[in-house]
């Protein structure tokens, strides 16, 4: 098991850890700030240093509680004490996009009852798919304006850990498909954008909507009879 430091503090950029396992160029640490690809958010990149060595973290992935860091050579041997630093500019952009997507999905639900069916963040854009019949240009403009208004309202974004039973009773969490969570998860991590969106989520977010600064909807697409895709960039 790797201690997932990024789950509790989204603003941690560096950390000390120990190498637990090495398999080729894949290294498992006892704790990490490197976010693994998942939940529509791409992995962090960065560097790892140790006495007598330094290398790049090229990819990060998660499997059954452990985080695997794919490193460029040289590879530190097992038991090495390391210092890791993430590429903050890349991560902070993902945090802004991730929170922007939650603002968008909260508003599309409140305005039109549209449910999210998928989403993905990229370094230069993000997209989200909704269960929505009608998404004409007028509605898109309304949604974009509502997002920017909410962003400028400086709403706090907080993380909470709830017992599963309690989480299963919350209507907003049921809406965001909490029933899809694996049965062995006893605690649910919830990301709350004050008065706007409340969902079970494992991603990293900014602490206040004002850090998103603003968004622009750049594209919409029909992905099926009732599936509408919206693409956005940060402004």
Let me know if 92 is exposed, middle or buried by CB neighbors in 10 A (0-12, 13-18, 19+): middle
Spatial separation of the C-alpha atoms in residues 131 and 215, rounded to whole Å:
21
* Part in contact with Zn ion (CB under 5 A); list of ranges 16-24, 58-66, 110-118, 202-210: 202-210
One residue of 27, 196, 201, 230 binding Zn ion per CB under 5 A: 201
Using an 8 Å Cβ cutoff, are 148 and 103 in contact? no
Residue nearest to Zn ion (CB): 201
Q: Which is nearer to Zn ion, 129 or 201 (CB)?
A: 201
Q: How far is the CB of 71 from Zn ion (least distance, A)?
A: 27
* Part in contact with Zn ion (CB under 5 A); list of ranges 120-128, 154-162, 169-177, 198-206: 198-206
Q: How far is the CB of 78 from Zn ion (least distance, A)?
A: 34
Q: How far is the CB of 48 from Zn ion (least distance, A)?
A: 27
Contact between 203 and Zn ion by CB under 5 A: the answer reads yes
* Part in contact with Zn ion (CB under 5 A); list of ranges 22-30, 61-69, 83-91, 199-207: 199-207
Q: What is the residue-wise DSSP string for 137-162?
A: HHHHHHHHHHHHHHHHTT-BEEEEEE
Contacts of 183 (CB under 8 A, 6+ apart): none
Q: How far is the CB of 39 from Zn ion (least distance, A)?
A: 6
Q: Which is nearer to Zn ion, 128 or 146 (CB)?
A: 128
Contacts of 140 (CB under 8 A, 6+ apart): 217, 220, 230
Q: How far is the CB of 147 from Zn ion (least distance, A)?
A: 15
Spatial separation of the C-alpha atoms in residues 47 and 155, rounded to whole Å:
33
Beta strands in 38-133 (DSSP E): 46-50, 53-63, 66-71, 81-86, 115-121, 126-131
For residue 194, give both structure tokens. Answer: 């004050």
Q: Which is nearer to Zn ion, 10 or 80 (CB)?
A: 10
Footprint of Zn ion (CB under 5 A):
201, 203
């Amino acid at each position: 098991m790797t201690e997932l430091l990024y789950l509790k503090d989204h603003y941690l950029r560096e950390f000390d850890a120990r190498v637990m396992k090495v398999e080729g160029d894949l290294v498992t640490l006892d704790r990490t700030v490197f976010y693994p690809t998942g939940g529509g958010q791409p992995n962090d990149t960065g560097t790892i240093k140790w006495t007598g060595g330094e290398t790049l973290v090229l990819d990060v992935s998660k499997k059954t509680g452990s985080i695997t860091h794919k490193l460029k050579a040289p590879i530190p041997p097992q038991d090495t004490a390391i210092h890791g630093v993430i590429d903050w500019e890349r991560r902070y952009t993902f945090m802004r996009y991730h929170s922007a997507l939650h603002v968008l999905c909260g508003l599309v639900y409140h305005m039109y009852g549209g449910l999210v069916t998928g989403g993905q963040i990229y370094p230069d854009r993000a997209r989200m798919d909704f269960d929505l019949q009608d998404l004409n240009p007028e509605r898109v403009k309304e949604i974009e304006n509502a997002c920017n208004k909410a962003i400028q309202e400086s709403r706090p974004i907080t993380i909470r850990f709830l017992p599963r039973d309690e989480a299963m009773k919350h209507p907003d969490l049921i809406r965001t498909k909490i029933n899809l969570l694996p049965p062995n998860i006893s605690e649910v991590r919830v990301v709350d954008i004050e008065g706007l969106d409340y969902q079970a989520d494992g991603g990293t977010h900014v602490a206040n909507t004002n850090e998103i600064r603003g968004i622009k909807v750049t594209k919409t697409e029909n992905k099926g009879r009732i599936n509408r895709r919206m693409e956005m960039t940060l402004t």
